[in-house]
Structure 1
Amino acid sequence: MNRWYRYGLAGLCCTAFFLSAAAPAHDPVETERYRVQPGDTLWEITERYRGDASEWPILRETNGVKDPRRLQPGDILDLPRLPELTAEVRHCEGSAWLIGEDGRRVPLHEDMLIAPGDTLETGSRTFVSLRLPHGEDVVLPSNSRVTLKQQNRRHARLYLKQGELEAHVPTQRDYHEVLDIDTPTGVIGVRGTRLRVTHAEDGIRVSTLEGKVVLKQGERTTSVPAGQGVLARTNAFPQVAILLPPPELKADEHSFDHPLQIQLSEVAGAESYRVQLARDPDFQTIFRDEQSNTRLLTFDSVPRGFYYARGSALDALGIEGRYGRRLVLHRPVETALDTSDDGYTFRWTDIPGLEYRLQLSEDSSFSDPFLSRSFSDSQGVTLRNLPTDEFFWRLQVSGDAGKFVDSPVVASGRQGAAHQP
């Protein structure tokens, strides 16, 4: 049932309740009708419909079935309509739309709920992150089109009509709770897996980063474990390949006036390279994506800030390999240390979204700093009454609140002689 129509119907039912004392206190349970086929049992119908055969008493009670093992072909069963498995939009960067079953288009925004039957479509330079009912995280990059489907009470499906998606499917406690990804070329069954799927005119490409993927094409089944990828075409035998290793990433972090450039190390067997930028380490908030035949990728108009970058290499089949990652500080933080009778004043460039940590130590190893303070939305601090006038200092930045392990040192010095590391 169309979601907008359903909301309107709910409103009419609510009005009827207040106008008529004879109206029921609860909305009647919506049902679907099923015609019994030869050989059907109530257990088998329940398994297909609800995803769990142990729930057969629900169908027995609803239909007054006397003997669940002896159903008469041609009989009609009422199947209570299943609760919807909705998805939530966690991030939306750029232009994307929700398309209902009636074809109505609505601009997509964060916190929007996606119901079965809804289609999502992303424009150019657009990135959308979804959280599915059982904790699956799905990222849709630019120019992609996917429809959310529901097979039974526990089983969600995605139909990738165009473009690409990346999914992280956590290991489920219930073996019924799996995610299928349908494409025009085949069906991909996943559980406890991190994978990428791309649908193009010449077929689908799957890269399994963690876990295992099972690709079904008619009667043919192909297992794709972690570290492997596959190119599958219609009416052709799948081509399986080992994923290319991750490249190393280097960034020009000390340039004030030039675009952000990411240099990748050479990967044997690579035909092209890809780099994505995100605002979080899990890459749920991707905002830029570039692909090139060269190992130097340039990102224009990237604001000053602290980002996460990941790069990969694509082989001759177009299968994308493993990711290499690094933190990127685009345009350096300017720092200064002024001394006066009033104390020591540290100043730095305040970049939105960053947290700073200033540490002072009596030795250059900073194994036991005598001062360690964190700051956000600040451009500096004045320190007084320090235990010593001889100290080393350093300034770190982090994109995750309170997490400074392995975070970059953007400036350091001793008694005001700041320098870029």
Structure 2
Amino acid sequence: MRKWIGTAALAWLAGVAGPAQAGPAGAEGADFLYLVEPGDTLIGLAERYMASADGWRTLQRLNGVADPYRLVPGSRLRIPLSQIPEQAASARVVYVNGEVRANGRPVQVGMSLDESARIETPAAGSVTLELPDRSRITLPPNTTVAVRRLRTFARSGLTDTVIRIEQGGADTRVAPEGSGVGRFELHTPMMVTGVRGTSYRVAADAAGSRSEVLAGRVGVSAARPARPVPAGHAMSAAAQVSAGYGVGVSDRGRLSQPVALLPAPVLLPPADTVLGPAFDAAWQPVSGASAYHVKVARDAALTEVAWSGTTTDTRARPEGLPEGTLYLAVSAVDANRLTGLAAQAPVAVRLNPPAPFTLQPAADAVRYGETVAFAWAAVPGAASYELAVAGDAGFAGAVALHPAAEPASAQPQAPGQYWWRVRSVDAAGRPGPWSAPVAYRVEPPGPVPSMQDDGKTLQVGWPADRGAGTGYRVQLSADAGFATLLVDQHTETNAIELPRPAPGVYYVRVARAAPGAVPDTGAFSAPQRIEIFTYLMDGNGAAIGAGVGTDGGAGGGTGGGGRIRLH
């Protein structure tokens, strides 16, 4: 059997462990370590772990035991790994986020990964593996690992796992059910860790390697340095790291002394229920922190990471979250790049019923008039909807809420800038997430024109706007759709004189507009229908005709055969 780089700290751990920690205790070099429990004998241990019960003689000789039937509880026994029969094992994929690949192929939940697998996580992805003893290994974004060894002890079922982290990191929960571990080691180019039932993290990058212990104890040793160690810089070989402490190994192979991890930040609790796939997380600053690591997981043990990120701020916005009860965790990062203890809080995320797809007004649309028509796509399963209109994009100010039984609503609106959004409500009255805010603007309706006809010209006028400043656009057409324009003029005043057209039916409309601007169709007043009649003239060329008025309150005048009415 190949002799792996040892974890000397495990020996120290075994030496100080009491009966409460007895049983399988990991590995040291080429040996499996066992801490004696009351009632243990060498013959019994050989039957439990070794190929033959006759192996007790090897145990007696290797460990200097005088009486194979009288072992001291809590004492440490070495069992050669080469004499422990093993069988092939596999790791089960229990969670995948993003396009994770193993040996170049996509990874899916439920897959089994065997010894020699090479696993890569993308920049926004992660994967969680579960070993036969229920140990879990979570690989965060931008991580590449190689599974060097993945087996179980044939007689006891203990795992024998060695994983090399080429880049990135790993979060582990080893033997969570307290069965102990045969061998569990994480190797980086500069560090080797070996553990017994515990929770810890390992990270590796160009600057070196780091390990932080969250529960239990970890033995850490420096691997062979990638570059020569300068004279006068002795390389530390191993350290015993307890919960709440971390260590690092520099790129020259120097192992630091254990350092206390920064305390957990004080979280500002998010809302009990978050509507939508994102929320704002905030916390109080931690003295000595240079950054903060934030993650959101699907389980309280933080092994199934749905989102993670690092920030120098005291707030973050996790996005793209799944529905359900999730767990927010925030840790402070110190100047040595060690990640501290995590503050944790549950967050209930609700995505259903889903937000409707907004139709109108579209983004940055302009509406003219005193009523705005809203419309959105119907959502299957939605019992009703709720429309919200506000004067700011964050909906922090006054918000008008309008229930709607159908995917449409018409609401009176004063001129101004607005944002709207809508959400679905289920049969139990529970709302889903809001749609994204949509900006729109309301402008006053076009001024309604009136007309006077003296038989020679048409005088069109309308109420003046205070501070209009830009003028008006006047159009005259022979059709109500204004496809054929007879007049299309700009004026700076609220009146215009037009040549009198031939008798017939015409349409006129007015919009506020700057010189040269082409207003939207909605900016114009409703088309006003004009009827032009034939006049009789006297000997002086003056028109002879009865007085005329207007229909529909459109205004009017006297002295001719013209009539204007709302079309």
TM-score of the two chains, using structure 1 as the length reference: 0.58
2: distance between equivalents of 1:331 and 1:157?
Answer: 40
1: distance between equivalents of 2:307 and 2:291?
Answer: 17
Matches within 5 A, 1:230-379: 230-233=247-250, 234-250=252-268, 253=271, 260-302=279-321, 306-329=325-348, 379=426
Going from structure 1 to structure 2, the CA distance change for 1:59 and 1:116 (only over 3 Å counts) comes to: farther
- Give 1:206 shift: 0.8
2: distance between equivalents of 1:79 and 1:208?
Answer: 31
- Give 1:229 shift: 0.6
Match of 1:227 in 2: 244
Q: Which amino acid aligns with 1:221?
A: A
- Give 1:300 shift: 4.1
Q: Which amino acid aligns with 2:303?
A: Q
1:212 has 2:217 as partner: yes
Matches within 5 A, 1:73-84: 82-84=86-88
2: distance between equivalents of 1:301 and 1:271?
Answer: 26
- Give 1:296 shift: 1.2
1: distance between equivalents of 2:187 and 2:323?
Answer: 40
Match of 1:360 in 2: none
1:168 has 2:158 as partner: no
2: distance between equivalents of 1:381 and 1:299?
Answer: 28
Q: Which amino acid aligns with 1:93?
A: N
Are 2:267 and 2:284, in contact at CA under 8 Å, matched by a contact in 1? yes
- Give 1:325 shift: 0.7
Matches within 5 A, 1:61-210: 82-99=86-103, 105-150=104-149, 153-154=152-153, 155-170=160-175, 177-210=182-215
- Give 1:251 shift: 5.0
Stretch of structure 1 that moved more, 291-300 or 315-324: 291-300
Are 1:194 and 1:210, in contact at CA under 8 Å, matched by a contact in 2? yes
Indicate the RMSD between aligned Cα atoms, in angstroms. Answer: 3.9
Identity value in percent? 23
Q: Which amino acid aligns with 1:247?
A: P
Going from structure 1 to structure 2, the CA distance change for 1:136 and 1:258 (only over 3 Å counts) comes to: closer
Are 2:88 and 2:151, in contact at CA under 8 Å, matched by a contact in 1? no
- Give 1:298 shift: 2.0
2: distance between equivalents of 1:257 and 1:110?
Answer: 25
- Is the radius of gyration larger for structure 1 or structure 2? 2
Match of 2:50 in 1: 55
Secondary structure (helix, strand or coil) at the match of 1:321 reads strand
2: distance between equivalents of 1:261 and 1:251?
Answer: 10
1: distance between equivalents of 2:258 and 2:306?
Answer: 31
- Give 1:124 shift: 1.4
Are 1:259 and 1:299, in contact at CA under 8 Å, matched by a contact in 2? yes
TM-score of the two chains, using structure 2 as the length reference: 0.44
Going from structure 1 to structure 2, the CA distance change for 1:199 and 1:380 (only over 3 Å counts) comes to: same
Are 1:251 and 1:260, in contact at CA under 8 Å, matched by a contact in 2? no
- Give 1:274 shift: 1.5
Aligned pair count? 281
Q: Deviations over 1:377-402 (max 9, x none)?
A: x94559xxxxxxxxxxxx9xxxxxxx
Going from structure 1 to structure 2, the CA distance change for 1:112 and 1:248 (only over 3 Å counts) comes to: same
- Give 1:240 shift: 2.3
2: distance between equivalents of 1:332 and 1:126?
Answer: 21
1: distance between equivalents of 2:290 and 2:196?
Answer: 30
* Unaligned runs of at least 5 residues, structure 2: 3-28, 34-44, 56-61, 63-81, 154-159, 224-235, 354-382, 386-424, 431-567
2: distance between equivalents of 1:291 and 1:194?
Answer: 21
Q: Deviations over 1:282-319 (max 9, x none)?
A: 22321111111111112345467643211010000000
2: distance between equivalents of 1:79 and 1:257?
Answer: 56
- Give 1:262 shift: 0.7
Are 2:97 and 2:306, in contact at CA under 8 Å, matched by a contact in 1? yes
Q: Deviations over 1:13-55 (max 9, x none)?
A: xxxxxxxxxxxxxxxxxxx99xxxxxxxxxxxxx959998663
Going from structure 1 to structure 2, the CA distance change for 1:148 and 1:301 (only over 3 Å counts) comes to: closer
- Give 1:88 shift: 0.5
Q: Which amino acid aligns with 1:186?
A: M
Are 2:90 and 2:151, in contact at CA under 8 Å, matched by a contact in 1? no
Going from structure 1 to structure 2, the CA distance change for 1:206 and 1:333 (only over 3 Å counts) comes to: same
Going from structure 1 to structure 2, the CA distance change for 1:122 and 1:286 (only over 3 Å counts) comes to: same
Matches within 5 A, 1:401-412: none
2: distance between equivalents of 1:91 and 1:301?
Answer: 16
Are 1:246 and 1:321, in contact at CA under 8 Å, matched by a contact in 2? yes
Are 2:114 and 2:150, in contact at CA under 8 Å, matched by a contact in 1? no
Are 1:49 and 1:151, in contact at CA under 8 Å, matched by a contact in 2? no
2: distance between equivalents of 1:232 and 1:203?
Answer: 6
- Give 1:268 shift: 0.9
